[in-house]
Amino acid sequence: MMKTMKKLAAALLALTMAMSLAACGGAKEEVKTQSDLAYVQDKGTLVVGITEFEPMDYQDASGSWIGFDADMAKAFAKSLGVDVEFQIIDWDNKVLELDGKTIDVVWNGMTLTDEVTSAMACSNAYCNNAQVVIVPSAKADQYQDVESVKALAFAVETGSAGKEQVDALGASYTEVADQATALLEVSSGTADAAVIDSLMAAAMVGEGTSYANLTYTVGLNSEEYGVGFRKGSDLAEKLNEFFKASYADGTMAKTAETYSVQAALIKQ
């Protein structure tokens, strides 16, 4: 009788453990397959990772974030029925920020490199861009081709496409927090040159801009911008649908014209 009861107890214990493991496995599967769209809508906020990057993401006199990317992000969040929150990030840590869920999306004139597309779920390309060399206007005639800039000391944003191009040149460089700081380094004379996005260069350097003493000369490459989400996120396809609708109804073009980037738009 005692042996029978022990066998029964053991069987019940094994059954309980099996059911518990099944429940845990189901919970893990539920977390794994949870829609990123549902996650954002449940919390009611789309957190957008950015850096200071005119004309894509920058602050107006009141401290509000504006720019082509910022305005499009606001419209996308509205289409999802959620609020938008902009958060400045260390560009080199953008994937960690995404995976750690401190942000939900990287939307900041991000070049679609192999590294980016392998680490994130990316939208379709929406803007053309290039990396260009920034030098003092007074010295621009000395730096009109790639060979002439190789000996310069550059300031580049950490983790940026500009840094990749300077690495490819074999030139010396100092890493800084963002492209705006790279411009400041050149303007103040602490760096000979910088490499930044052409769209930013068009808005930030030359006559009538914040850096009238700077200009851009050599173009180092051509590239495309995209928006990045967590790997496997269903928000990427949701944004592609939003881009297609916004392009078709003229909203994307109108927003681009506000920030003078309409020539860079890619048809959706």
Concatenated DSSP letters of 94-127: HHHHHHTTS-SEEEEEEE--HHHHHHSEEPPP-E
Q: List the CATH number of the domain containing 140.
A: 3.40.190.10
Q: Does 236 lie in the same domain as 111?
A: yes
**CB contact at 8 A, 49 and 105:** yes
- Crossing angle between the packed helical segments 235-248 and 36-43, to the nearest 10 degrees: 80
Q: Does 188 lie in the same domain as 156?
A: yes
Tell me whether the omega of the peptide bond preceding residue 136 falls within 30 degrees of 0, making it cis.
no
Q: Does 135 lie in the same domain as 58?
A: no
- pLDDT for 8: 45
- pLDDT for 22: 47
Type of residue at 243: F
Q: Does 95 fall in a domain?
A: yes
Any idea what DSSP says for residue 190? S
- pLDDT for 196: 97
Strands 193-197 and 153-157: parallel
pLDDT one-digit tens code per residue, 138-159? 999 999 999 999 999 999 999 9
Closest alpha carbon to 179 in 68, 50, 73: 50
Strands 45-50 and 105-111: parallel
Q: Does 5 fall in a domain?
A: no
User: Residue 52 and residue 60: Cα distance in Å, rounded?
Assistant: 11
User: Residue 17 and residue 79: Cα distance in Å, rounded?
Assistant: 45
pLDDT one-digit tens code per residue, 197-213? 999 999 999 999 989 99
Three-class SS state of 231: coil
Which pTM was predicted? 0.81
Q: Does 201 fall in a domain?
A: yes
Give the chain's domain count: 2
Concatenated DSSP letters of 145-163: SHHHHTTSEEEEETTSHHH
The mean pLDDT values, 10 residues at a time, for the chain of 268 residues are 46 47 45 81 98 95 97 98 97 96 97 96 98 98 97 97 96 97 97 97 93 96 97 97 98 97 96
Closest alpha carbon to 60 in 49, 47, 70, 75: 70
Q: Does 105 lie in the same domain as 217?
A: no
Element (H, E) at 199: helix 198-204
Q: Does 121 lie in the same domain as 245?
A: yes
In which domain, by residue range, is 65 found? 44-128+229-264
Beta strands in 168-209 (DSSP E): 172-176, 193-197
Q: Which residue has the tokens 């401190």?
A: 102
User: Residue 46 and residue 84: Cα distance in Å, rounded?
Assistant: 5
**CB contact at 8 A, 231 and 100:** no
Task: Kindly report the backbone phi and psi dihedral angles of residue 10, in degrees, each rounded to the nearest multiple of 5, phi listed first.
Answer: -65, -40
Q: Does 123 lie in the same domain as 136?
A: no
- pLDDT for 34: 76
